[in-house]
Amino acid sequence: MIVSILFLSSCSQSWYVFTSFREPANEGLRLLYSKDARHWNRLDSIFLVPGVGKQKVMRDPSVVKGPDDRFHLVWTSSWQGDNGFGYAASKDLIHWTPQQFIPVMQHEPTTVNVWAPELYYDQDSSRYIIVWASCIPGRFEKGIEADSNNHRLYYTTTKDFNQFTPTKLFLDPGFSVIDAVIVRRAKNDFVLVLKDNTRPERNLKIAFGPSAIGPWSAASAKFSDKFTEGPSVVKDGEDWLIYFDAYQDKSYQAVSTKDFKSFTVPDPAISIPEGHKHGTIVQTNKKTIRRLLKYTSQ
């Protein structure tokens, strides 16, 4: 471990952290780290044990670093029967504020679930946007999905994680949808990566919009195989890498794209430790990585 820390001291500032969890999701937050956003190493520690929600799990941990220089984290805290998600913040990814439960769907008493909250900092409006998937039986036209699995995307915004705007519908694409990730390419040029969760599809698609809250175009054709979910997007030079969980194959995969219209297998190939599950990638620096390595070596 000392060798790793010394090696980091001579490297540039660009490093990445990938949030993670392991099934059955009751242990808590895990992390990977990388120098190039392609080859990932495991940090063998649990950085936050879930303590909120009816089932007190931690799935789909999503993190961003805000202008306050803190890492903000949201996660799925229950499979079903709850009306919100978990939240905590940290300056170093090790020491966390007391966990909060954010009841974003308490105004909808028949809500089945609150899944995969995805956190995005919108520099154009200086606010955080949180998007998640919920199912409200009977709310939308029934397709091929059961009412208990007919999801739509919702969102709220906040500037301080103390006050939140009223929950609004974020996207109704006409089918059951989950796992949405907002990507900013330029001013007035946004991409939404999403999962079509209908039984014949269960794959990833793309939509385009002029702002971080849309309005969004119709979803594209699929760019991933069936049984894929949990997209994470990171800029890689002129390309974008889209990571995703191929959960039936029990593997993590990625595609590369320049325009979010054509997709190829990354070259060189990526490497992800076995067992990694749906998270998000955040850029950081060598100081943070050195601190994490020292913590896990204790």
Which CATH number do you get for residue 109? 2.115.10.20
- CA count, 13 A, side-chain hemisphere, 36: 10
Q: What is the pLDDT of residues 171-225, one digit of tens each?
A: 999 999 999 999 999 999 999 999 999 999 999 999 999 999 999 999 999 999 9
The answer to whether 88 and 73 are in contact (CB under 8 A) is yes
- CA count, 13 A, side-chain hemisphere, 114: 34
Domain count, the chain: 1
With cut-offs at 50, 70 and 90, classify the pLDDT of residue 4. Answer: very low
Encoded tokens for 72: 């903000």
C-alpha–C-alpha distance, residues 75 and 198, integer Å: 23
pLDDT at 30 over 90: yes
Q: Is 37 left (phi over 0), alpha (psi -120 to 50) or beta?
A: left
Domain that holds residue 260: 2-297
Average the pLDDT over 233-253 and give the result.
Answer: 95
